Amino acid sequence: MNDALSGQHELSMTVLMTPDMANFSGKVHGGAILKKLDEAAYACASRYSGSYVVTLSVDQVLFKQPIHVGELVTFLASINHVGSSSMEVGIKVIAESIQEKVIRHTNSCYLTMVAVDKEGRPARVPPLKLETSLQKLRSDKAALRKKLRKEAEEEARRTHENHYGVQPR
């Protein structure tokens, strides 16, 4: 493994929004952005861990502003938190209209990626070095989100069991 690349916790991916990404109203399809978010998270987490990774969850994604065909969109991905096998990747999305020279922060979201071995079982990932106060803050907030996600999953499981009398599959 090349040490210059493995262990890097940040990644930037810039993509030109092409006409094939447009929806019926001519703006970029939300699904096209979701796919790119997943690709950026995959690239960031697999390079950091040096493993194959799968997507465990995507937190709420809000599209408060449309993205237009012809814009350059940059996905700024960062490993916020690392557990034994899971990594939370935070992604900030920046859209740049080339002619108008306007840069907009369109949205941010969090994806949880899990490193897996050849059998698809969770595999250990290297601990994250928290070198700055910003990294420490991001890690603490990510740890809280992980706890809340697990509580929500457990609550949903209990509700299902109470309703149907069996555990969800």
Ligand X SMILES: CC(C)(COP(=O)(O)OP(=O)(O)OC[C@H]1O[C@@H](n2cnc3c(N)ncnc32)[C@H](O)[C@@H]1OP(=O)(O)O)[C@@H](O)C(=O)NCCC(=O)NCCS
Q: Does 116 bind ligand X (CB under 6 A)?
A: yes
Number of residues interacting with ligand X: please give it, by CB under 6 A. Answer: 17
Looking up tokens 């991916």 gives 13
Out of 49, 86, 106, 107, the residue judged to bind ligand X by CB under 6 A? 86
CB 123 within 8 A of CB 106: no
Contact flag: residue 150 with ligand X (CB under 6 A): yes
Residue 54 interacts with ligand X (CB under 6 A): yes or no: yes
DSSP 8-state assignment for residue 76: E
C-alpha gyration radius of the chain: 18
Q: Is 61 exposed, middle or buried (0-12, 13-18, 19+ CB in 10 A)?
A: middle
Judged by CB under 6 A, the stretch of 10-18, 24-32, 63-71, 149-157 that binds ligand X is 149-157
Question: At 152, which helix (H) or strand (E)?
Answer: helix 133-164
Measured between its terminal Cα atoms, the distance across the chain in Å is 38
Stretch that binds ligand X, among 9-17, 29-37, 55-63, 99-107 (CB under 6 A): 55-63
Per-residue tokens: 132: 């700055």
49 binds ligand X (CB under 6 A): no
- Binding piece for ligand X, criterion CB under 6 A, among 3-11, 13-21, 128-136, 144-152: 144-152
- With CB under 6 A as the contact rule, the residue among 26, 30, 120, 168 that binds ligand X is 120
Q: Segment 93-112, which members bind ligand X (CB under 6 A)?
A: 112
Q: Is 86 helix (H, G, I), strand (E, B) or coil?
A: strand
101's torsion region: left (phi>0), alpha (psi -120 to 50) or beta? left
Report, in Å, the least distance between residue 76 CB and ligand X. 22
* Binder among 14, 18, 65, 84 for ligand X (CB under 6 A): 84
Judged by CB under 6 A, which stretch of 81-89, 126-134, 135-143, 160-168 contacts ligand X? 81-89
The residue type found at 56 is L
Tokens 């991001």, located at residue = 138
Q: Which residues of the shown chain bind ligand X in the complex (CB under 6 A)?
A: 54-57, 83-86, 112, 114, 116, 120, 122, 146, 149-150, 153
